[in-house]
Amino acid sequence: MLRNRDFLLLFAGQGISRLGDGLYTAAVAWLAWTYSHDPGAVAFVAVAANLPTFFATVIGASYADRYDRRRLMIASDLGRAAVVALAPPLLLAGVLSLPVLTIGAVLLSLIGAPFAPARNAIVPRIVPPEKLVEANGLLQVAFRSAYFVGPLMLAPLLAFASMPVVFAINAATFLISAATLVRMRVPHVAADRVGLRADLAAGFAVLREAPDVMVVIGTFVLALVAASGFLTVGVVALVGSKLGGHGGEYGLLLGIAGLAEVLGAFAVAKLRIRNLALTAVLAWGLLGAFRFPLGLTTTPLAAGALLAVTGFSSALTDIPLVALVQRRIPDRHLAKVFGLWEGGIAGAIAIAPVIAAFLIAHVGVRTGFMLSGVTLMAISAAAALTLARAGALRPAERPA
C-alpha cells in the first residue's frame, strides 16, 4: 500500500497531523488546569472541543459529498492552522485566558468537523476495493502511533522551549497536512448540486437500505458510551484506589493500551476479514470480556495485561467498520454516513466520562468495571443477533 503514491501522501500527512492533535490536546488540558486549577474547567474545555463536532459533522459531511473533498480538507487544515497560529502571540502578550482558550477549541471543532468524514470517504477513490481493510489498518497505525507520541512531546518541549512553540508546531502540522493533500491526485467524481436538506434526506434513505451499516455504527456509538469513560476516569480511579496512586503508573497503563491499539491496527491490516459487520460487533464483546475483570486487579502488571488485550481488541471495532461503510455505501453519500459515525463518536466521548464517574461514585471501581464489561458483551450479542435477523451476515459488497 505504501507504494501507492497518493495513499503514501495521505498516510504521511495525516500521521503528522495526528501528532499535532495529540500535542494540542495535552497542551490545552494543561493550560486549562494552569488557568483554573479546577478539574471542572479542564472537562469544560474538553466538552467545548467535542460538542460542536457532534452537531456540525453531518452537515459538514454533506458538503464533502457535494463538493471537492480534497479541497474541503485543505481549506479545513488551513483554517485550523490560522486559528492555532493565534495562540503563540496571545500567549506572549499574556492575554490568552480560559474563555479565549474555550472559544478557540470551539472554532477548531467547527472548522474541522467535515475533515474526518471527507478523509474516510476519499480513501476508496485512491485504493482498490480489495485493499480497503489493509489501507484503513495502516492509516489507523499512523493515527494511533502519532496521537500516542504527541502528548509525550509536551514535557520536553516545555522543558527546552515554551508553550508558544508547542502551538507553533501544532499549526505547522496542519500546514504539512495541507501540503500533502495538495500533491495528491484524487479522481474527481461529479455530484449533483442538490440542497442541503435534500442531500441529507437522500443520505439517510441510502443508510436505511444498508441495515448492516446501521447496526455496526449504532453498536459502535453505544459501546463507546459504555467503554471510553472507563479508559479515562475508570483507570484513574483504579490507579488511585487500588494500584498505588502514582501518576507514573497511570501514564504507563495508558501507554500500554495505546501501544496495544497500534499493534492491533497493524495486525488487522494484514487480516483477510470475510464478514466485516460481524467482526466489528463481536470485537466489542471480546473487549468487554477483558474489561470485566479489570476492576478486580491488584497489581499494575495484571491491569496492564488486561488493558493490552482490550487495546488490541479496539482495533477490530473501527477498522472493519470503516471498510464496511466504504464498500456498502455509494460514493455520493459516503461522507455523510461517516459524518454520522464521527458525530456519534463526539457525543459518546462527551458523555461517557460523566457516566463512568457516576457509576464509580455509586457502586465503586470494581463493580463499575464489571458493569462496563457486561454492558459491552450484551451490546455485542444483541448486535450480532440483529445482524442475523436482518440477513446481514454476509460479505460486504461495494455498490455500483
400 band by pLDDT with thresholds 50, 70 and 90: very low
Using one digit for the tens of pLDDT, what is the confidence trace for 7-18?
999 999 999 999
- The upper half-sphere exposure of residue 61, i.e. CA atoms within 13 Å in the direction of its Cβ, equals 28
| Segments in 230-333 forming alpha helices (H) | 235-242, 247-269, 276-291, 300-328
- In this structure, are residues 356 and 232 in contact, taking their beta carbons and an 8 Å threshold? yes
The pLDDT, as a whole number, for residue 392 is 65
- Nearest in space to 145 (alpha carbons), one of 14, 297, 39, 276: 14
Mean pLDDT of 73-99: 96
How many CB atoms sit inside 10 A of residue 63's CB? 20
pLDDT tens-place string over residues 145-175: 887 788 778 888 888 999 999 999 999 999 9
Q: How far apart are CA 210 and CA 321, in angstroms?
A: 13
CA-to-CA dists, residue 234 to 166, 352, 372, angstroms: 29, 11, 10
Three-class SS state of 33:
helix
* DSSP code per residue over 319-345: HHHHHHHHHHS-GGGHHHHHHHHHHHH
Domains of the chain (ranges; CATH) run 5-191 (1.20.1250.20), 205-389 (1.20.1250.20)
pLDDT, tens digit, 9 for 90 and up, residues 222-269: 999 999 888 777 877 787 777 766 656 766 777 788 788 888 998 998
Q: Quote the pLDDT of residue 251.
A: 65
| Banded model confidence at residue 116, pLDDT cuts 50, 70, 90 | very high
Kindly give, in sequence order, each residue whose CB lies less than 8 Å from that of residue 251, ignoring residues fewer than 6 positions away.
none
Q: What is the mean pLDDT of residues 199-206?
A: 92
Cβ neighbours for 284, distance < 8 A, ≥ 6 positions apart:
219, 220, 223, 227, 317, 376, 377, 379, 380, 383
* Percentage of the chain exceeding pLDDT 70: 94
pLDDT-derived band of residue 396, with 50, 70 and 90 as boundaries? Answer: very low
Q: Are 90 and 96 in contact (CB under 8 A)?
A: yes
- Please provide the average confidence, as pLDDT, over all residues in the chain: 88
Instruction: Please determine, for residue 50, whether its predicted confidence score (pLDDT) is greater than 90.
Output: no
- Cβ within 8 Å of residue 383, ≥6 positions away: 215, 216, 218, 219, 281, 284
User: Is the pLDDT at 22 greater than 90, yes or no?
Assistant: no
Count of all residues that appear for the chain in the document: 400
How far are the Cα atoms of 53, 90, 222, 305 from residue 348, in angstroms, in the given order? 11, 32, 8, 26
In the structure, what pLDDT confidence band is assigned to residue 192 with cuts at 50, 70 and 90? low
Distance of CA 218 to the CA centre of its chain: 15
Residues 6+ apart with CB under 8 A from 207: 213, 214, 329, 333, 337, 340
The phi-psi region of residue 210 (left if phi > 0; otherwise alpha if psi is between -120 and 50; otherwise beta) is: beta
Name the more confident of 2 and 224. Answer: 224
What pLDDT is recorded for position 247? 56
Dihedral pair phi/psi, residue 375, rounded to 5°: -60, -45
First to last CA, the chain: 24
Nearest of 112, 328, 349 to residue 230 by alpha carbon: 349
Categorize the per-residue pLDDT at 397 as very low, low, confident or very high, splitting at 50, 70 and 90. very low
